[in-house]
Structure 1
Amino acid sequence: MQRSLSSVVVTLVLLSAFAHALWNALLKRTREPTDASIPLFAVCAASSVALAIAAGAHVPPPRALVWCLGSGVLEAAYFVTLARALARAPLGPVYTVVRGGALVVVWPITLAFLGERLTAASAGGVALIAAGLAATGAADGQRDRSRGALVRNLGWAAISAVFVAGYHVSYKVALSDGAEPLAAAGVSLSVASALNVAVVGRGSGGRAWKALREQPVRIVVGGLLANLGFALFIYAMAHAGAGAVTTLRNTSVLFAQLFATMQGDRPKGLGLVGAACVTAGAVLLSR
């Protein structure tokens, strides 16, 4: 059977979930999330490297380093697709689709290749998450009756979910191959930020700099929270199964719904049902 989670790991994951939902909410509150994401993730990467150096972390061994680099590429794609999703749709449904969708992708991989086992509880969790994602999509459809608009609104979130699943698995393999948690995060986030600047920032560097000048506190705090969330998450993953940690972390969906409500986007009906199903499914999967 998969390992149960200790109280310390659970606490770290829940703190990571809170930090993760909060920086997503801060990014959503920026005037243009696509532009603001560039300096925000640069702050995240810089603080991650500084933390790794301060902690005396060592460069990952060659095989683990390859997985860290691969994780960085996937995180770069996640940064881009998440920013585009937040620029087009409300925080609540975007966050639910990204986090819940990642679980649907992660669990088959961890079952097939990382030694985790499917139990009755985890099977029920997957079913609840699938139901939650369907409810979230239907709720967004109620906001906009056009099916094309629904696809545009949450399409980027669904794509982002695939990249989230990919970098979670890459992190776990890197840790299994000997990478220290903070070193793995530092390498991966540095690669992701560099690619983000090179690809997304090309031609929009002026807008990114303007976003930082106009909203420095929101962007810097968001970047620091992103680093905190990643650091706590990867440390917890080093001490527990990737599937279990990933699923428990997705209780952040509830935090995201709280922050969405505080921003004036009050979820109703199917939106709340979707968030509740994804959260309940995550709890079942972590058992």
Structure 2
Amino acid sequence: MSPVVAAAVLLAAFTHAGWNALAKSIKDQLLAFTLIGGCSAVIAAVTACFAPLPRAAAWPYLIASVLLHIGYQALLMRSFTLGEFGQMYPIARGTAPLVVSVAAVLFVGERLTPWMLTGVAVASAGLAGVALWGIRGSGTRPHWPALLAALATGLSIAAYTVVDGVGVRASGTPIGYVAWLLAMQGLLIPAYAWYRFRGTLLTRLRPHVGRGFLGAVLSLIAYTLVLWAQTRAPLAPVAALRESSIIVGAAIGALFFKERFGGPRIVAAGLMVVGIGLMLRAG
């Protein structure tokens, strides 16, 4: 992984944590994901008009990814409804890297060098430390429905990461791929919200439009950068490095949602830095 690719993935980590925090800041998660998904779909549809059309070989992966992303969004909404941001976000993101590492070897045919494997393992240990401290640091017994929703979210992240990693390489156009992906997946949740709220949806959305639009822009930037990086580096280290966003998420939880951060998360962040260094050493 080159320094340029690593920088792109780290920027994606920051922007991803940002849009998730904006979503969490809106109390009704259906409204939050309606705004972010709907605005993303509109921006992506306009972008798709100017970007190259993905090659035919990429479309089965695009369709599968749309379905996986819809499931991911439903699970993420459930996680944010049931638990704290600083706990749910790390668990959801932290389960993905090791699953992606195994899946990339088994299904994509990638080979991990010893440096890459060590980097992924160390970075994942840091991610797990943040997640486990989140359970312990809450001061209450684990809320198992929330934890299970967050873990299922992580599995869905791993699934669409592998699918998109293969699909974007087959597409010949990372921008075109992400534009069509977000344009298609962004319509279902707004359609459901329109059905559920009938004639009151626009009134409910109006106070949150600014945050929704900003979240959509950050979401587009984050995933475009990740998909571009997946065309330049193996899936496993990209996935692990991307999940450094949970450190950003933990800091956001402490600063804006008044959740605990603490020394153990600082240690976990240090492990994450070591893992990033090992992955860069592999490049």
8 Å Cα contact 1:16-1:249 kept in structure 2: yes
- Paired with 2:81 and 2:224, the residues of 1 have a C-alpha distance of 26
Partner of 1:137: 132
Amino acid at match of 1:7: P
Amino acid at match of 2:148: G
2:214 aligns with one of 214, 221, 229: 221
Partner of 2:44: 48
CA deviation profile, 1:5-53 (whole Å, cap 9, x unmatched):
2222222212111111111111111122233111211111221222233
1:70 aligns with one of 42, 60, 64: 64
SS in 1 for 2:262: coil
8 Å Cα contact 2:9-2:238 kept in structure 1: yes
Cα distance 1:201–1:141, how it changes in 2: closer, same or farther (>3 A)?
Answer: farther
State whether structure 2 residue 28 is matched by structure 1 residue 32: yes
Cα distance 1:6–1:132, how it changes in 2: closer, same or farther (>3 A)?
Answer: closer
8 Å Cα contact 2:95-2:151 kept in structure 1: yes
Partner of 2:5: 9
- Paired with 2:92 and 2:270, the residues of 1 have a C-alpha distance of 15
Partner of 1:121: 115
Amino acid at match of 1:45: A
Partner of 1:248: 241
8 Å Cα contact 1:40-1:220 kept in structure 2: yes
SS in 1 for 2:186: helix
CA deviation profile, 1:87-117 (whole Å, cap 9, x unmatched):
2222222221122211121111111232322
8 Å Cα contact 1:111-1:117 kept in structure 2: yes
State whether structure 2 residue 178 is matched by structure 1 residue 182: no
* Post-superposition offset of 1:194: 2.3
SS in 2 for 1:98: helix
* Post-superposition offset of 1:225: 0.9
8 Å Cα contact 2:127-2:268 kept in structure 1: yes
Partner of 1:191: 184
- Paired with 1:194 and 1:63, the residues of 2 have a C-alpha distance of 24
- Paired with 1:144 and 1:137, the residues of 2 have a C-alpha distance of 12
8 Å Cα contact 2:120-2:236 kept in structure 1: no
What value does the CA root-mean-square deviation take over the aligned residues?
2.5
Shifted more, 101-110 versus 256-265: the winner is 256-265
State whether structure 2 residue 103 is matched by structure 1 residue 103: no
8 Å Cα contact 2:15-2:218 kept in structure 1: yes
* Post-superposition offset of 1:70: 0.9
TM-score (norm 1): 0.86
* Post-superposition offset of 1:61: 2.2
- Paired with 2:64 and 2:224, the residues of 1 have a C-alpha distance of 17
CA deviation profile, 1:221-257 (whole Å, cap 9, x unmatched):
1111111111121122222222222221112122212
- Paired with 1:191 and 1:156, the residues of 2 have a C-alpha distance of 24
- Paired with 2:192 and 2:272, the residues of 1 have a C-alpha distance of 33
Unaligned runs of 5+ in 2: none
8 Å Cα contact 1:97-1:136 kept in structure 2: yes
Unaligned runs of 5+ in 1: none
1:112 aligns with one of 102, 106, 110: 106
TM-score (norm 2): 0.87
Cα distance 1:90–1:50, how it changes in 2: closer, same or farther (>3 A)?
Answer: same
- Paired with 2:30 and 2:196, the residues of 1 have a C-alpha distance of 13
8 Å Cα contact 1:75-1:189 kept in structure 2: no
